[in-house]
Chain A
C-alpha cells in the first residue's frame, strides 16, 4: 500500500484484501467491553474538515480514540479558508505542531494530495468533492463481504446521482477490482461522460438495475442539484428512481440494501426499505469505525508497537 489513501484507483486487489482482513480484526475490538487498544499511543492525528460532515467525522474520531491516538480537530468552511490563510499555510501551521497523520475532507477534488505534498505525512482522504471517498468504499466493501462472504461475481446496482457522487466513483474501483459486476443507474444527465470505460454497465431503468441484484446501493440525491437543471423536478425523479418494495422484489431474495447516508427519506429510498430486514445501512456505520481503525493501523500503526512500549 502507498503511504496515504487518496483514492481507490491506486489500490491493488491485494491491498483491498488486506484492508478487509484487517477490518475484521478491528471490528472485534469494537465489540469488546473495553473498546480500546494502545496501538497508536503517542501518535497525533489531525481531523481536518473543510466541509461539513457528521458521521464520517465521528467515525474517524471514534476510530482514533479506540486506538489511543491523540486528536486535533480543525474545521473551517471552504470560503473562510479561501479568504484567509491558504490551504498550504494552514497545513504548514498544523504540521509545525507535530502531526503524524491527516484526515482531510474538502469540497475541492485533489485536496488530499495537496495536503500530503505540504505535510509530508500520511493522509487519509475523507472525501474530496465529487472525486473520491475511499474510506466509504472500503467500509461498503467490508459490509458486503461480511454478508456475502465474497465479492467476485456479485451484481451491485448503484442508483441515483452518479455525476456528483464520490461514493459511486470510489465504489466502482473497489468493486470492479474485486470482480463484482457493477451496474450504474440514474437519469442520463446524472451519468458522467465515458464512465462505462471503467468496466461498468449503465442503465437508465431502475427495474433493469435491480433485477437479480445482490446489492442495491442508493445514493443521496442532493436537493440543490435540481436547480442546476440536471433534471426537471424532484417529483419526476422520485417516480423514476426511488427504491421501494416493488423494485427490491426484483432483486435476489438475499439482496442487501445500502446507503452511505445521510438519507433523504422518501426521495431516493422509502423508509420501509431503509428499515427493512434486508437493509444494512446501520451496519455500514458500525463497520465504518472498524475499517477506519484498520486504515489507521495500516498507515500509522505497523511498527509502532515496539516504540510504544
Chain B
C-alpha cells in the first residue's frame, strides 16, 4: 500500500464545506482520511499552501489526431498538468473529427499512454462537424465521451440543432454550444467596433454570438434539453443566459481568461496572437462577464486552449488562424487578476475551475472526500513569476500574455494519487 501524506496545508473544498488547516492522507491513489495531525512514513509539508479539489479545464483543443504539429495528446496533457489541471475535456475538431467511436477510443488510448492528467473527450454533434447530419451520439458516449459539441463551428441549421438537443435528452451531459452566426461573422477577423474600423479589419459583430444564444435557448426550452455555452464573450450573451437561468432553465456557461483580461485594442499591434474566436471584445463586455462571474451566471472558467505552430501565426493578421495557447496561463492569470483583484473569491474560483465543470460533465472531480480518487491541485498564492512562452510545455507558444507578471500559481498536483511538482 503506497501512502502519501500532505501535511499542514489549508484544505479548501467549497463543495464539501471544508476550509481549514488539515492533513490529507492518500492511499493507493484514493483519499483515505482528512483530519488533523495525521502521520505516515512518507509525508510532505505544505505549510502556507492551499490544497484544492483537482482543477478541470473543460474546454481544450489537443489537436490529435490530425494536427500533431500544433499539439499532441502527450504535449497538451503535459501542459495541462503543469498548468495546474488534473483533468481536461478536449474538443472534437480533430482530423478525423471525433464523430465516431474509433476516434474517441483512440484519444482515450493516447492519453493512457501519456498519463499526465485525466482526459475526457468531447464528441461531435454532427458528422464531420458539418452541421448537416447527427453523428452516432450514443456510440460516442458509449466509447467514453463526456459531452458533445461542434465547437469551432456553429450548427447553423435550427432544425439540426433542435434534433440534436432533443436526441441528447437521452444522456446526462449537456450539448456544448459554440454560438456564432457564421453568415453574420463571415470573413471577420476581430470584434466589430471602433478598432475594426480603425484597422480596416473585417469585424465580427457581437450580435453574431447573441442571436445564436437566443435561438438555442428557445430551442432548448422547446425540447426540454440542456446547454452549456462555451466561451461567452458579449454583454448581451451574459444577459440572455442570466434571464434563462432565472426562468430555471438548465443552462450553464463558461468564460475564458483572454475574454476577461483583453479588449480589441490589443489588436492594434496586429499581433496575430490576439486573433481568437470569439474575438476579444470591449471593456463593456469585460464588465458584464465579470458581473456574470460574480452573480453565478457564468459558472465555469475554461482556457479554450488552442495551440498553433509558430509558422501558423507568423503571417499577416488576416491569414492567421484563430486561437490562444492558454492552458498554462489560466491559473496564474486568474489568481492574480480575478481572485486577488476581488472579482470573485478563491472558493468561488475553485467552484468555477473544479466543482462546476465536474458537475456539468458528470465526472468524479470537484470534491475532497475520503474514498474518492485523489485528484488535487495545490496553490501557492505568494509565489510570483512572469509568463514566458518559451517555457511552455505546450507546442503552441501563441499567447498574448508573454511577459505578464503574476502572483500565485499551482505548485503541486496530485493526480490519481501521484504527486507532481509543477515547475
Give A contacts to B, CB under 8 Å: 9, 82, 86-88, 106, 108-111, 113-114, 128-132, 166, 169, 192-195, 197-198
Contact = CB atoms under 8 A, between A and B. Distances in A.
A161 to B, nearest CB: 12
A109 B318 contact: yes
A129 B270 CA distance: 13
A106 B194 contact: no
Interface string B189-227: 000111011111101000000000000000000000000
A194 B197 contact: yes
B318 A129 contact: yes
Given A109-B200, A129-B200, 7 more contacts: A108-B316, A108-B317, A109-B318, A110-B199, A110-B270, A130-B201, A193-B203
Which of A108, A110, A128, A192 has most chain B Cβ within 10 Å? A110
Contacts of A110: 199, 270, 316-317
A128 B317 CA distance: 11
Interface of B: 192-194, 196-201, 203, 269-270, 311, 314-319
B200 A169 contact: yes
Contacts of B269: 113
Contacts of B198: 9, 131, 169, 198
Contacts of A82: 319
A86 B314 contact: yes
A129 to B, nearest CB: 5
Nearest to B195: A194
Nearest to B203: A193
Contact of A166 (B194, B200, B316, B319): B200
Nearest to B317: A110
A194 B319 contact: no
Contact of A86 (B194, B200, B203, B315): B315
B197 A109 contact: no
A109 B201 contact: yes
Nearest to B187: A228
Nearest to B311: A86
A131 B200 contact: yes
Given A82-B319, A86-B314, A110-B270, A193 B200 contact: no
B201 A87 contact: no
A157 to B, nearest CB: 19
Contacts of A197: 194
A114 B313 CA distance: 12
A193 B197 contact: yes
A170 to B, nearest CB: 10
Contacts of B270: 109-110, 113-114
B267 to A, nearest CB: 9
Contact of A88 (B199, B203, B314, B317): B314
B181 to A, nearest CB: 15
6 contacts: A88-B314, A108-B318, A130-B201, A131-B201, A169-B197, A193-B194
Nearest to A113: B270
B270 to A, nearest CB: 3
Contacts of A131: 198-201
B196 A193 contact: yes
Contacts of A194: 193-194, 197
Which of B199, B201, B203 has most chain A Cβ within 10 Å? B199
Ranked nearest first, the 8 interchain pairs of A and B with the lowest CB-CB distance are: A110-B270, A130-B200, A131-B200, A108-B316, A192-B197, A194-B194, A109-B200, A108-B318
Contact of B316 (A111, A130, A132): A111
A309 to B, nearest CB: 40
A109 B320 CA distance: 12
A114 B196 contact: no
B192 A193 contact: yes
A110 B314 CA distance: 13
Which of B193, B201, B270, B319 has most chain A Cβ within 10 Å? B270
B316 A106 contact: yes
Contacts of B197: 169, 192-195
A72 B316 CA distance: 23
A200 B193 CA distance: 16
A244 to B, nearest CB: 29
